[in-house]
């Protein structure tokens, strides 16, 4: 057995001032597929997601709603928690920044920084945008508003500062020594160029509102939301108990998956905080891209926000998961369109793969009494196809570890297509009439190939893959990657259940009565 490795990966914690949309689902999906892959590969995985619940926006929204901030976030956090069962996310924990465990962790990190003179008290004055939770320089303002369009107000307050300026060189050498820390490469260049441009100390406390983690030993201040929020990644593995088994096992995190908009916080501030506290920084931050909707930028005001739950209703869960991971080189922006979705769902899933499974299982049912056929001597073509399926895990693993999901799926589909070529060349429906043993051999090879395909596609389309493995009578315990190859081979004579399609085609009849996306 391979040695078990621990792999801790996280989504950002989602800000509760919003409802879950396709962007949240996408980030979590990218983590989920990897988490599932690693578990099947025998790793000890911890996959974390959760909600970010502090900040002025929440405080204001709660006040406007006439409820306490706590009950506001209790309510708003719920849809994010509900996303996991809806989209099949297998997160091991769901953290909320309002939990006691987290407040203790954030305060401890603060104390560590304070004790090392990495935080000092000063004062801050500037244009502050509540909506963005950010200060802007005078020069950044456009017509008296933030570049984002958010209204700004002049705020002058005492503030604690983190000595970020001291970490410029350390960060640059850290990036240099860890070329895989920031992905994709183009984002890495951006971050490095930003840091090279010079870093100023970072304001890390606020006195203008109250909804946050109190600064230790100074009740007038609460912690800057990002310092609070980023700490969640450590909270969930036991911090401040650095001698706990979870912390030792899972920290530093192997991967923080983030949207490209919050890369800087993760790739600059976060490692600086950690190095300043003498804690190991995470291994990797991946900044993925955004989706557009039918070519249009998605925005709330335009009203073209995509609800992932609607897409699941329309196209199916596995279909959506497949589309999101296949359609776009991971890291790039992508466009969601009905046509593209249907092309993937029908072309790749239903026609190429689903139909392959169906025709093979149907022939086994008909020609072999519904039992796993007995293979005779193998010919070159048999061995070539079988080997390509058995070896598939290698490039697929390599792709997953680089978060190159599209490459992994491309590799898998190469084998799917080879199997379709093979079945046509061998024509078992003809062989059946002249050489039943040879037909049985061909069908056995195909069944084994399908077993391998189903095994490796599990992280992306877990439900359908499970159904295929059910139809091959593969035990639940035999669905890990340790069963790849002859060791897990189907046993001739095993009775198989009646096959039924796992990847339905999308037809206009598939459209539910309500309006679809839009």
Partner RNA sequence: GGCGGAGUAGCUCAGUCGGUAGAGCAGUGGAAUCAUAAUCCAUGGGUCGGGGGUUCAAGUCCCUCCUCCGCUACCA
Place of tokens 């890291």: 331
Q: How many angstroms separate the CA atoms of 400 and 404, rounded?
A: 6
Burial class (CB in 10 A: 0-12, 13-18, 19+), 200: exposed
Cα atoms found within 13 Å of the Cα of residue 470, Cβ hemisphere only? 12
Q: For RNA, which stretch binds (CB under 7 A), given 6-14, 61-69, 126-134, 346-354? A: 346-354
Judged by DSSP in three states, 96 sits in: strand
Kindly state whether residue 436 participates in binding RNA, applying the rule CB under 7 A. Answer: no
Q: How far is the CB of 373 from RNA (least distance, A)?
A: 13
Q: Contacting RNA (CB under 7 A), which of 186, 299, 394, 437?
A: 186
Q: What whole-number distance in Å separates Cα of residue 352 and Cα of residue 104?
A: 52
Rule CB under 7 A: say whether 172 interacts with RNA.
Answer: no
Rounded CA-CA distance 290/305 in Å is 12
Q: Are 255 and 283 in contact (CB under 8 A)?
A: yes
The residue (of 82 and 421) whose beta carbon lies closer to RNA is 421
Q: Binding to RNA by residue 323, rule CB under 7 A?
A: no
109 contacts 273 by C-beta, under 8 angstroms = yes
| Alpha carbon distance 236, 74 (integer Å) | 19
Q: Which is nearer to RNA, 31 or 363 (CB)?
A: 363
Choices 238-246, 303-311, 362-370, 371-379 (CB under 7 A): range interacting with RNA:
362-370
- Which of 332, 394, 437, 510 is close enough to bind RNA by CB under 7 A? 332
Contacts of RNA in 374-433 (CB under 7 A): 417, 420-421, 423-425, 427, 429-430
Burial level of 258, CB count in 10 A (0-12/13-18/19+)?
buried
Selected from 178, 292, 351, 492, the binder of RNA by CB under 7 A is 351
The 3-state DSSP class for residue 152 equals coil
Task: Give the phi and the psi of residue 292 in degrees, each rounded to 5.
Answer: -105, 165
Report if residue 343 touches RNA, rule: CB under 7 A: yes
Closest to 190 (Cα-Cα) out of 127, 245, 268: 268
Which of 329, 370, 376, 485 lies at the binding interface for RNA (CB under 7 A)? 329
Q: What's the CA gap between 89 and 96, in Å, rounded?
A: 17
When binding is defined by CB under 7 A, the residue of 42, 158, 259, 501 that contacts RNA is 501
Task: Tell me the closest approach of the beta carbon of residue 156 to RNA, in angstroms.
Answer: 20
Residue from 208, 244, 355, 388 in contact with RNA (CB under 7 A):
355
Part of the chain binding RNA (CB under 7 A), chosen from 53-61, 104-112, 166-174, 182-190: 182-190
Residue whose CB is less far from RNA, 117 or 151: 151
What is the contact surface with RNA in residues (CB under 7 A)? Answer: 137-139, 141, 186, 189-190, 193-194, 197, 264, 329, 332, 343, 347, 350-352, 354-355, 357-359, 362-363, 366, 417, 420-421, 423-425, 427, 429-430, 501-505
């Amino acid at each position: 057995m391979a040695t078990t490795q621990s792999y801790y990966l996280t989504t950002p914690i989602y800000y509760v001032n919003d409802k879950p949309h396709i962007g949240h689902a996408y980030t979590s999906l990218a983590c989920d597929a990897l988490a599932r892959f690693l578990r099947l590969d025998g790793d000890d995985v911890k996959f974390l997601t959760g909600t970010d619940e502090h900040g002025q926006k929440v405080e204001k929204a709660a006040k406007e709603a006439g409820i306490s901030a706590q009950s506001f976030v209790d309510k708003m956090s719920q849809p994010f928690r509900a996303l996991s069962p809806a989209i099949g996310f297998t997160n091991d924990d769901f953290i909320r920044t309002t939990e006691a465990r987290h407040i203790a962790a954030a305060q401890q990190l603060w104390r560590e920084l304070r004790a090392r003179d990495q935080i000092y008290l000063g004062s801050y004055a500037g244009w502050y945008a509540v909506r963005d939770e950010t200060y802007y320089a005078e020069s950044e303002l456009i017509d008296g508003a933030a570049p984002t369009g958010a209204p700004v107000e002049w705020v002058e307050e005492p503030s604690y500062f983190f000595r970020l300026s001291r970490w410029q060189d350390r960060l640059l050498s850290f990036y240099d020594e860890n070329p895989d820390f920031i992905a994709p490469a183009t984002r890495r260049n951006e971050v490095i160029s930003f840091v090279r441009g010079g870093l100023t100390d970072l304001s890390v406390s606020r006195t203008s509102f109250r909804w946050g983690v109190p600064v230790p030993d100074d009740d007038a201040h609460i912690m800057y939301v990002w310092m609070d929020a980023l700490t969640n990644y450590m909270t969930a593995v036991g911090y401040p108990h650095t001698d706990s088994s979870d912390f030792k096992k899972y920290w530093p995190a192997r991967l923080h998956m983030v949207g490209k908009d919050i890369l800087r916080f993760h790739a600059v501030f976060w490692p600086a905080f950690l190095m300043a506290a003498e804690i190991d920084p995470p291994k990797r931050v991946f900044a993925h891209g955004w989706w557009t909707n039918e070519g249009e930028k998605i925005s709330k005001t335009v009203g073209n926000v995509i609800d992932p739950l609607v897409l699941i209703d329309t196209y199916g869960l596995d279909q959506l998961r497949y589309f999101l991971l296949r359609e776009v080189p991971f890291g790039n922006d992508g466009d969601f369109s009905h046509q593209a979705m249907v092309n993937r769902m029908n072309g790749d899933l239903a026609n190429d793969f689903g139909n392959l499974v169906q025709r093979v299982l149907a022939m086994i049912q008909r020609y072999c009494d519904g039992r796993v056929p007995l293979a005779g001597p193998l010919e070159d073509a048999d061995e070539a196809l079988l080997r390509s399926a058995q070896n598939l895990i290698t490039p697929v693993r390599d792709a997953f570890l680089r978060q190159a999901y599209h490459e992994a799926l491309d590799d898998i589909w190469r084998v799917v297509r080879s199997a379709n070529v093979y079945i046509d060349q061998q024509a078992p429906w003809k062989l059946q009439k002249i050489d039943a043993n040879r037909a049985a051999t061909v069908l056995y090879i195909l069944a084994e190939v399908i077993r391998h395909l189903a095994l490796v596609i599990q992280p992306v389309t877990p439900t359908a893959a499970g159904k295929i493995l059910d139809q091959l009578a593969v035990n639940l315990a035999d669905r890990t990657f340790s069963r790849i190859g002859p060791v897990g081979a189907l046993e001739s004579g095993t009775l198989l259940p009646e096959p039924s399609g796992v990847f339905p085609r999308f037809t206009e009849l598939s459209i539910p009565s309500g309006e679809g996306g839009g």
